[in-house]
Structure 1
Amino acid sequence: MSSQLATLLKSIDADKATLDAARPLSQQAVASLRDTLVREWAGQASVIEGGAPTRRETRAVLECITIDGTTLREHLDATHHRDAIGYVEDIVSKREALSERQIRNLHRLVLNRIGNGDVRRYRQENVAIAGASTVPPGFLDLPADMAALIGWYREAGAMHPVMRAAELHARLLKIHPFVDGNGRTARLLLAFELMKDGYPPAIIRNEDRPAYHDALDRACAGGEFDNIACVVAEAVRRALHLYLDVLGLPYAAKPDADHFPNHPNGEPTCPLPPPPR
């Protein structure tokens, strides 16, 4: 782990401890939080607990996440599937263990295809990703690769939750198990994994997308996960500050600027080297 990432995670942990001490949030605080998140996340293209969030808090946050420009609540309502909203709330509130079935169900959700019957299969063809430096595995390898992903996740319990969520996100995108909707599924999974451990979801802003895509490419091509963890961690830290602002609570002290000489304010950043030619 880089020193930049370690310092950033330390700052996040301090802010989360402050938030956890204030939980459970009052109904008024949850309503104010929801209004703040709606304003903050409006216009973003996609989504990219000590004290655990209550189901009321969980629902308020879930309703603000966007998929294809609509809120998750609007998206789920459009499925006409009465159990869809309860399903995603249960994933977070009950900290449902990750499984291949959960991933396939989330994929159906983002494609607005929740319904009865078996969950959607993995792709049955080979694909290439425009602009990426790697090629996803062949479709015949997908069952083994997805089983290995779940196996890795089960062994990753000792990792910092933000790092684990970021690496899971990148690993799923590397496998690219579906013909369409892989990015949206992986970003929704990232949000849910963070929320299971009491962190706010990491919303990747439009201005962060170049760094986000570069970091993903490096993770998929070379197994270097620190950069994507930094991008996710900085998004989590911003979201934590939104929570604390709503509650009128202080942030953790800023990291020493000496740790981040590249940034004029000493904010934690994880600069990316130039992309490979």
Structure 2
Amino acid sequence: MNFDRLNELKAKLDGLRPLPDAAVRNLHENLVLQWTYNSNAIEGNTLSLMETKVALEGITVGGKTLREHFEVINHREAIFFVEEIVSANTPLSEWHIKSLHQLILKNIDDTNAGKYRSINVLISGAQHVPPDYIHVSDEMAGFISWYQKSASDMHPVELAARAHCDFVKIHPFVDGNGRTSRLLMNVELMKAGYPAAVIPVNRRLEYYSFLDKAHTSGEYEPFIRLIAEIAEQSFEPYWHALGIK
């Protein structure tokens, strides 16, 4: 795949740094909202964008479950942890992954939060069947080893997409794999200086379809192209905030 367009956009943004403090704050607030809303909505959370905004402000939305509120608050905390990982610029580890997952399921399923599954699972609607639970620890060790070896060989957008895809293929946790995978994807993008890529809920069908295709046939390109397209769109809020066409 050709990533020239993404490289050009990143160079353009890098040339504008440091960005004004007010713009950075506004962009960050919008990112936390959009990322939290879309990632949760993909998994079936019924809070609307505006209801998610209200929940992030600590206000309870009538008629919505406690779990849905925790999913919002937890996801924001997980984003903050992603930012800490990026800021520290340390190699991704299983501890990071388990810590992210623990934040995602905090007050929702504390028994399984941050712990690899001890049962076999199926992915609803998918052809791919995740590995037997007894292989999860070995698969995750292999995943981290591959990730660290590939970090310098792949374009950051390709690496981010592949990491997302391969993590979900293992499905190491009972629940919360999707949210965790989208957070992990952005660890790599943000480390490389790209904006976080938020997969919109209205592209959920092709997102799931391309993931399953990669898992069952080893054909990664459609999924990588999808992530590259979304990564390109993630620059738009910056141009808008800075008044650039």
TM-score (norm 1): 0.70
Deviations 1:100-123 (A, max 9, x none): 111111111111259xxxx73211
Q: Does 1:219 align with 2:218?
A: no
Unaligned stretches of 5+ residues in structure 2:
43-55, 57-66
Deviation at 1:32, TM superposition (A): 3.5
Structure-2 change in CA distance of 1:154 and 1:206 (3 Å): same
Whether the 8 Å CA contact 2:81–2:100 is kept in 1: the answer is no
For residue 105 of structure 2, what is the aligned residue in structure 1? Answer: 111
**Aligned mates of 1:178, 1:99 — CA distance in 2:** 16
**Aligned mates of 1:229, 1:92 — CA distance in 2:** 22
Deviation at 1:37, TM superposition (A): 4.0
Whether the 8 Å CA contact 1:161–1:197 is kept in 2: the answer is yes
Whether the 8 Å CA contact 2:36–2:72 is kept in 1: the answer is no
For residue 195 of structure 1, what is the aligned residue in structure 2? Answer: 190
Structure 1 residue ranges, 4+ long, deviating more than 6 angstroms after superposition = 68-73
Q: Structure with the greater relative contact order (CA < 8 A, sep ≥ 6): 1 or 2?
A: 1
**Aligned mates of 2:88, 2:209 — CA distance in 1:** 34
Whether the 8 Å CA contact 1:201–1:236 is kept in 2: the answer is yes
Figure out how many residues of one structure are paired with residues of the other and give that number. 219
For residue 8 of structure 2, what is the aligned residue in structure 1? Answer: 14
For residue 45 of structure 2, what is the aligned residue in structure 1? Answer: none
Deviation at 1:212, TM superposition (A): 0.6
Identity %: 41
Structure-2 change in CA distance of 1:197 and 1:225 (3 Å): same
The structure carrying a bigger helix percent of its residues is: 2
**Aligned mates of 1:36, 1:120 — CA distance in 2:** 28
Which runs of structure 2 are paired with 1:106-255 in the superposition (5 Å)?
A: 106-112=100-106, 120-156=114-150, 157-250=152-245
Deviation at 1:196, TM superposition (A): 1.2
Q: Output the amino acid matched with 1:144.
A: D
Deviation at 1:217, TM superposition (A): 0.5
Computed over aligned residues only, the root mean square deviation of the Cα atoms, in angstroms, reads 3.0
Structure-2 change in CA distance of 1:226 and 1:143 (3 Å): same
TM-score (norm 2): 0.78
